[in-house]
Amino acid sequence: MSGGLAEGRGDAGFARHANMLRQVARQLDDWIAAQNREARREGLPTIRSCHIRVVGQTALLEVGVPLTLVATRDVDVTADYESAVEAEFRRLLRMKGRELNPLGHEIWMPRETRYSMLHAGRSVELSVADPEAVLVSKALKAPDKNLALIIEYLARGPSTRFLTLAKKYRINLEQFL
Amino acid sequence: MSEKNSDLRARAKARHAHFARRRRDPRYQRVIGRFKAAKLLITNDEVPEHREPITVSDTLWAGEVEPRLIELLPAAILKKPSLFVDIESLPHDLASVVGAIRRHETPPPLRGIPGENLLHWVPRIGHRGKIPSRLKSFRFTAEDLALLAELSRELDLSETETLRQALRKLAHASDVNTASDRE
């Protein structure tokens, strides 16, 4: 069974968005380093390191899955950052024309989700959810909104992992057909 | 590949062909291109951006393939009306949604998209955080109107802005919290 989500789409549209999150994570790391230098000089508490996990359509865009993707400018993440880091992350995303979804942390993801590290810096780790887990989340929680996407994926030949997860979470794939 | 999965894939291919045809349709391309240019949507597809106005009917049609268009449509009509050429004659269901948002109410679902999801985009499109103002009529005496005109001149504010400021001052004096106090 194919389910070849590893090979990227590789067109100009994708190229514009690829690596956006890596750049933002690097900038966020630099910002935290500068804030912490300042805090140490003044004997104040430093900002603790954080892990940002990207889910949703942005995760699919970022890894360049070979599916037709249409996304709003929202970036959905779950993260353990402090509010000052969140505000800076929001500002950096905005500079790239993206918006941090305030409800992103409410998005359900399967327990089996694998996250690949896009950036492992001194204070910021940023990883993206694997495409199959994102598609399972979409198929279960928002089937109508993602009908065309799921159909395209099924037409390409779903991976064994996707089918296993779909079975585990009782997703009725017939509803898409 | 099992026979069952092979059948699933074959049927998915047939449905995908239908969506792929629609995506190649000039109406879909025009709508997506306009939403991309307005920075409302991002795609990994080679759809050319443009700034020509589009029709609401084409957007609703394209929304059958891409429901995110439906989700954004009411907010786009209210906050970026220049995107469209025909917002004066909206279909009944869309007009109800737009009307409810104008009245600051949660709108009914629109073509499968829950009202809360439609509302979510209103403060996030165009002027950030801004929700469309609502028309409300009052009857004033000649004396009230003269006072409003006088205050408006003195403060160099529009009459609407004068009333807004007067309301906030009254709320402050009466210890009533306004929405901006609560934020």
| Residues B59, B82: Cα–Cα separation, whole Å | 14
Stretch 54-113 of chain B: residues touching chain A, C-beta under 8 Å: 65-68, 71-72, 112-113
User: Quick one: B110 and B155 in the same domain?
Assistant: no
Residue A52 pLDDT greater than 60, yes or no: yes
The pLDDT, as a whole number, for residue A13 is 46
Angle of helix B67-79 relative to helix B56-63, nearest 10 degrees?
A: 150
Q: Looking at the domain assignment, is residue B105 inside a domain?
A: yes
Average pLDDT over chain A, rounded to whole? 89
User: Quick one: B112 and B162 in the same domain?
Assistant: no
User: Quick one: B151 and B109 in the same domain?
Assistant: no
Beta strands in B41-158 (DSSP E): 41-43
Q: Looking at the domain assignment, is residue B75 inside a domain?
A: yes
User: Quick one: B146 and B96 in the same domain?
Assistant: no
User: Quick one: B109 and B23 in the same domain?
Assistant: yes
User: Quick one: B153 and B114 in the same domain?
Assistant: no
Domain interval for residue B167: 142-182
Residue B1 pLDDT greater than 60, yes or no: no
pLDDT band, residue A25 (cuts 50/70/90): very high
User: Quick one: B28 and B68 in the same domain?
Assistant: yes
The percentage of residues in chain B with a pLDDT greater than 70, rounded to a whole number, is: 91
Residue A17 pLDDT greater than 90, yes or no: no
Would the CB atoms of A12 and B46 count as touching at under 8 Å?
yes
Q: Looking at the domain assignment, is residue B129 inside a domain?
A: no
**Rounded average pLDDT over B29-48:** 93
Q: Looking at the domain assignment, is residue B130 inside a domain?
A: no
Residue B22 pLDDT greater than 90, yes or no: yes
The percentage of residues in chain B with a pLDDT greater than 90, rounded to a whole number, is: 59
**Domain count of the fold of chain B:** 2
Q: Looking at the domain assignment, is residue B132 inside a domain?
A: no
Comparing A177 with B68, which gets the higher pLDDT? B68
Q: Looking at the domain assignment, is residue B153 inside a domain?
A: yes
User: Quick one: B101 and B24 in the same domain?
Assistant: yes
List the single residue in B with minimal CA-CA distance to A60.
B44
**Which long-range CB contacts under 8 A does B127-133 form with residues at least 24 apart?**
B127/B79, B130/B79, B131/B104, B132/B78, B132/B79, B132/B101, B132/B102
User: Quick one: B73 and B150 in the same domain?
Assistant: no
Residue B130 pLDDT greater than 70, yes or no: no
User: Quick one: B120 and B147 in the same domain?
Assistant: no
- Rounded to a whole number of angstroms, the distance from the CA of A14 to the nearest CA of chain B is 5
- Rounded to a whole number of angstroms, the distance from the CA of B93 to the nearest CA of chain A is 19
- Of B124, B152, B174, the residue that ends a domain is B124
Identify the top-confidence range among A173-177, B25-29, B131-135: B25-29
Across B44-58, B83-97, B120-134, least confident range: B120-134
Residue B5 pLDDT greater than 90, yes or no: no
What ipTM score was computed for the predicted complex, to two decimals?
0.82
pLDDT band, residue A16 (cuts 50/70/90): low
